[in-house]
Structure formats: structure tokens, C-alpha cells
A and B are shown apart, each in its own frame.
Chain A
Amino acid sequence: MDSGLSPQDKKDLDKFIKFFALKTVQVIVQARLGEKICTRSSSSPTGSDWFNLAIKDIPEVTHEAKRALAGQLPGIGRSMCVEISLKTSEGDSMELETWCLEMNEKCDKDIKVSYTVYNRLSVLLKSLLAITRVTPAYKLSRKQGHDYVILYRIYFGEVQLSGLGEGFQTVRVGVVGTPVGTVTLSCAYRTNLAFMSNRQFERSAPIMGIIVDHFVDPPYSSHRPANMGQPCNYRPPDEEDGGAFVGVQDSQEVCTTSFSTSPPSQLYASRLSYQPPAAAGPAELCHPAANPNQVSVLHLHIHSTAIYPDTYKYTWDMLTNKSASPSDPVEALNAFTRKIGAFVNKPSTQVNHTSSLDLPFAAFAPRGLDSEENDPMVQPPDSPPCPSPLQASLHSQGSEGSGPQDDFVMVDFRPAFSKDDLLPMDLGTFYREFQNPPQLASLSLHISSQSMADDLDSLPEKLAVYEKNIDEFDAFVDMLQ
């Protein structure tokens, strides 16, 4: 009911709502580009900064928004929605959030359009700026790049929230009453980020304890590559990518900068500095990764710093290292061993799969060891017929060192003086890593036994020499005292 509204006010109100809708879309999409936004304040008003806020207009986004609106305005029963979704490089996608600009019937007849409504819409846009950095999708969008990208879709009509999964949350950004209805801006966002696709799991063996809702940047990429510097790719129905939208600028209308009956201060067609590079198009999203296993499991990356010990991170690196020979005899042994990693509380969830993937520090395991029988550490080569006591003790040392070589059984390891907890223990990891170093070559028995025999033979000679020089030794000792 706008009977109380003057034609000028009605016209102004329609203009405000239209540009509010367009700016809303810009703020949301720009907040999901993955980059920090920076605009400058200007003390002199220009005719193009709607709502007295410096919000750049990305032409493609404006074009998409206008196309979705198709000349209509958000009204009662006609909501404008911006859907933000995530799409992996393998083509799986998931809706993350839906922003809704709605109008309800509650009217505020007494409110001043050109002044109060305008200012309140400005405050609402500021709130939108703040809230877009707070929802979970913001962090995801800042980390987009190789593994996934963030897309947006604008539609008009009824709000669709079914794609957000169970338990989605809603946050209301704000409301502004107008004489024709109340404008409401809200966001519904997904809370359950587990990937639904089973394809991910079949392709690569999951390591136990994976949390699937961590999207962690691979260590080698901290920024989005240059060709992703464009706005979130949108999913237009006709698969059109960001082509040239020349016709957008002509419809730039002057925004209200002056709160009076005097004419607008300046006419200023906004030429935006934002020029996206040649649009990549959806095809680029699905670029094949060098190692498909690596890509898919990266979605399920272990959050190694906080929750899982560094052991698992190392194990992950082993997974991607295809050089481990599957015919490794150690693997055969491990296939029968139930491994419980240190600091893990969920051993039962472990999946027995190709055991070359299971074995941490497999690089330390010696190759070519078939069984205990050939292990020189366990059964030293035949020693000389007159074993000296020294040799006997070497033999026993050797046998002690044989243990770790042939059987991997991991037990709960709680190093002294470290905190006993689920969380990664640097001390424990250190112990584990350096617990079983390979034997030094000089200490291996068959070599040392030979040299020991030589040493023993030359011992009497050496003793004779020392006795001859005993005076020198005594003088040396006296010097030290």
C-alpha cells in the first residue's frame, strides 16, 4: 500500500531498493573472491557511490544480478538470493550459504524515504560487509585455489535452502522498514561440511582419523594462482563465462548524495578500475591434478598442527610417494600387524589397506630382508675360534639391535615429562623418529669382528710400545695436574 507515498518518493524508493539489491550482490560476491577488499574513503561525494559507501561494481556481477532481477524488484514473495557454493577440481560441489534479500508486508508509513530509509540501507550494507567476514564460507573462500573454487549464483523468486544440508544456521543481517514493506537481509549457511561424495573415498585409502571438513591449503600454495584472480565463477545456465559486458555502464544512475531538494551534485558515470583478466571459464576448474590421489585426499587433509601428531603428516607424505615398492617384504609383515599409532584413541576405525601406505617411516625399514634367518644382526657370521669377551658382548649388542628390524608393533608411547594427551607430542614424535636409526656401518658385527681380531693380535705389540714410553706418559699426566 503506497497510497501515502508521493510519486517522487515512490520513484526514489524503487531506485534505492534496486541499487541496494545490486550493491548487496556486489558485497557478497566480492567477499567470496578470496582476497582482502580495500576501498578508499573520499571526503568529496561523487555521484556514483550509492549509500555513501565505496563498493566497487564488478561488471559481470552487476550483469548477472540484473539478469536475475529481469527488471523486477525484490518484493513480497519475490526474494533475491545469492547462493555461494564450493566446487572442487574434480567437479564435486556443495552449497555453502544462501543470502536472501526479502520483503515482507510490514510497512512503516511514516518513515522518510529519501533520508531515513537511505541511511538505514547504508547501515545495512555496512552490516553486510561485517557479516560476510564472519560466516564459515569466508575462511573457505580465502583458501580457494587449486583444490576448489567458490561459485555464486543469483536467482529471483522463492528461497531454496534444501541444498544446505541438515542443521543449517541462519543469521539475520538486518531489516529496514519502508512505506511499501520491510526489507530483510539474512544468510543461511551450512554447518555440516562433510563431503557427500563417495568417489573421494574410493580413490584413495583414507588414513584413520581423517576429518573431512578441513580444507587446508597445500603447503606449496598460499595464494590463488594468477588465472584465478577473477571473481568467483558463476554458473550461468548457458555456461557462459565472463565475456565482455559492454552495455552495463550505460545504465549507471546517479545515486543520492544530497539530502535536500537541490539537484544531485555531480553526474558521474562510474568507470570501475576492476578489470578481470581473461575469464577462465568452468573448464579450468577441472584441470587434472598431477596425482589424482593427492588431489582428492587433500580435501580430507589432516589438520596436522592441531589435532593429529606429525606422524600422520609424515604418513601422508608417504602416501603420495609412489616410490615405495609394493613388493617390499616389510609390507608383508605389516599386513598382519595391527598398528595403533601413538596418541590415537580410535584404533578401530583404521582400515586395513595396502600396507605400504600404513607404515610410517618405511624409509627406515631395510629392504631385502626376507626373514630373521638372514639378518646379520641376529645371527652374526662365524666368529674367530677364540672369542674374546669383547666379541661376546658385541654379539649380544647386535642381537638386541635386531628387534626393530623385523617386527613393527607400535604401542602407546608416552614419553616422560611430556603431557599425556591426544594432541601431537613433539617429544614423543622425536622419540619415535629417532628410536630406530639404522645401524652404523662400522658397528655391524661382521666388519667389527674382523677388525677386532686384528686389534687383538696387535695388542701385545702396542702394549710393549706403551711400556717403553711410560716415562712420557707420566710426564704428561704430571703436566695436567
Chain B
Amino acid sequence: MNCRSEVLEVTVEARQVEEAMLALLHTILLHRSTGKFHYKKEGTYSIGTVGTLDIDCDFIDFTFVRVSSEELDRVIRKAVSEFKDALSNSGSDGMGQISLEFYQKKKSRWPFSDECIPWEVWSIKVNVVNLANEQERQICREKVGEKLGEKVINVVEVINRHEYLPKMPTQSEVDNVFDTSLKDVQPYLYKITFQITDSLGTSVSTTMRRLIKDTLAL
């Protein structure tokens, strides 16, 4: 099975980074989350209900829809905030990439740890620009809003190709496919990583460190 990889690129002002990332990540997660599964006897299950919420951006002329789950929002905001801080602290020319990867766990026999097999990766490349005056910022608000709209259409287009999705799991396998840690919704297993491109063009990657850490943590 090949991992599907999609790349989205946005150019934003520094103060718009957070909202732009939230908008795109939440749009993807909206499509990749279901209600909580409730398994019953005889191998059947029922699915909870997913609510939605409109979020207006403050620095961009844009409104996006996210899943109505404060827990999930907190997790995503934390990741985006780390990304934003890394971008601004890196001293680079403001280029970075945040990735949302959906994966499945495959149980391996002892002593090997479970494998994480990605089946869909969304990479959002960010280019931060500095604007000189208020008029440019106003134009940027509108332009970035339009661009994000185009990206949402791109996301929807990819998702509605209805390509590979993990099979619906049995009760014992559900944690290999879905993140069941949240109370109200159940997204597919995902991880968010980012990397900042420094000015020399080489990538200073935190993902490798994290992956190694995850593997060692078993």
C-alpha cells in the first residue's frame, strides 16, 4: 500500500501563521474524524455524533469549520504553536513545513515494536513574509483568505477521491487505526511534525529526533 502524499503551500505574514495552519489542519481532521465507536455484542458497533464549529480568523478574512472537540483543538493548537515558535526563533528566512500524517499501527511480534505505517501525509509548506505597512497587510488579509479557500477546495478534492482508507477495525484492533484517547470524537491515528528550513536551505529537522525517540520509547 502506498502512502498518499499531498503538499499544500501558503505564503503568509508572521501573525497569520497560526490561524492558517489551524484552518488547514482542522479542515483535514474534520474529514478524518468520526464519532466515537461503541462496540456491542456480535461484532457490531455504533458511531457517535460529530459536531462542528465555525471559527472566524482574526488576522485573515476567512472562516473555517472544525470538529466540535475542545480536546482535539487543544492538541492541534499546541502543535501549531510550537511550529510557530520554531519558525520565529529559527532566524531563518521564514520557511518551514508542518506535516500531518495519518498512520496505522501494525503489531509486530516480540521483541519488535509496533510499526507505524503512514497511509496519508499532508505537508503544509509555509513561507513567512514581512510586510511594510498597513495597506499591504490589509491586502494580505484578503489574499491569504482567498488562498486558504483554494487550499480547502484542494483538500476536499483529494479526500473525495475516496482512495485508500484503513478498514474499519474490530474492537481489539481499534487502537491500531483510530486515536481513541479523546472523549467526544475519534480521529484516525495521526501525528504532527514540523521542520524549519534554515537560510542555507538545509533542513533542520526535529522530526527525525522525534521518530527516533518514539521508536526507542516502544
The reply to whether the CB of B133 lies closer than 8 angstroms to some CB of chain A is yes
Question: Looking at the complex, which of A35-43, A239-247, A377-385, A389-397 is the stretch in contact with chain B?
Answer: A35-43
By a CB distance below 8 angstroms, the chain B residues around A122 are 34
- CB–CB A123/B160 < 8 A: yes
Among B48, B65, B133, contact of A129 (Cβ-Cβ < 8 Å): B65
The reply to whether the CB of A172 lies closer than 8 angstroms to some CB of chain B is yes
**B155 — nearest CB in chain A belongs to which residue?**
A130
Q: How large is the interface on B (under 10, 10 to 19, 20 to 34, 35 or more residues)?
A: 35 or more
Q: How far, in angstroms, from A323 to B67 measured CA to CA in the complex?
A: 53
- CB–CB A133/B64 < 8 A: yes
By a CB distance below 8 angstroms, the chain A residues around B30 are 126, 129-130
- CB–CB A134/B152 < 8 A: yes
Q: A191: shortest Cβ distance to chain B, in Å?
A: 12
Q: How far, in angstroms, from A152 to B78 measured CA to CA in the complex?
A: 40
The reply to whether the CB of A337 lies closer than 8 angstroms to some CB of chain B is no
Q: How far, in angstroms, from A221 to B27 measured CA to CA in the complex?
A: 31
By a CB distance below 8 angstroms, the chain B residues around A265 are 46
By a CB distance below 8 angstroms, the chain A residues around B42 are 260, 262
Bitwise, A166-187 to B at CB < 8 A (1) or not (0) is: 0000011111110000000000
Contact count A vs B, C-beta below 8 Å? 147
Question: Looking at the complex, which of B49-57, B82-90, B210-218 is the stretch in contact with chain A?
Answer: B49-57
By a CB distance below 8 angstroms, the chain B residues around A416 are none
The reply to whether the CB of B114 lies closer than 8 angstroms to some CB of chain A is no
The reply to whether the CB of A279 lies closer than 8 angstroms to some CB of chain B is no
Among B31, B51, B53, contact of A42 (Cβ-Cβ < 8 Å): B51
Within 8 A of B (CB), among A447-477: none
- CB–CB B135/A45 < 8 A: no
The reply to whether the CB of B200 lies closer than 8 angstroms to some CB of chain A is no
Q: B66: shortest Cβ distance to chain A, in Å?
A: 10
Among A43, A54, A258, A305, contact of B52 (Cβ-Cβ < 8 Å): A54
- CB–CB A42/B45 < 8 A: no
- CB–CB B160/A52 < 8 A: no
**B149 — nearest CB in chain A belongs to which residue?**
A134
The reply to whether the CB of B183 lies closer than 8 angstroms to some CB of chain A is yes
The reply to whether the CB of B43 lies closer than 8 angstroms to some CB of chain A is yes
Within 8 A of A (CB), among B14-37: 27, 30-31, 34-36
**A185 — nearest CB in chain B belongs to which residue?**
B160
**A122 — nearest CB in chain B belongs to which residue?**
B34
The reply to whether the CB of A251 lies closer than 8 angstroms to some CB of chain B is no
The reply to whether the CB of A423 lies closer than 8 angstroms to some CB of chain B is yes
The reply to whether the CB of B156 lies closer than 8 angstroms to some CB of chain A is yes
- CB–CB B68/A38 < 8 A: yes
- CB–CB A124/B48 < 8 A: no
Q: How far, in angstroms, from A309 to B40 measured CA to CA in the complex?
A: 66
The reply to whether the CB of A434 lies closer than 8 angstroms to some CB of chain B is no
- CB–CB B160/A42 < 8 A: no
- CB–CB B159/A123 < 8 A: yes
Q: How far, in angstroms, from A401 to B43 measured CA to CA in the complex?
A: 94
Bitwise, B179-201 to A at CB < 8 A (1) or not (0) is: 00001110000000000000000
Chain B residues engaging chain A, CB cutoff 8 angstroms? 27, 30-31, 34-36, 38, 40, 42-54, 56, 61, 63-65, 67-69, 133, 135, 138-139, 142, 149, 152-153, 155-157, 159-160, 162, 168, 183-185
In order of increasing CB-CB distance, the 9 nearest A-B pairs are A260-B44, A174-B160, A39-B51, A36-B54, A41-B184, A134-B149, A54-B51, A43-B36, A41-B51
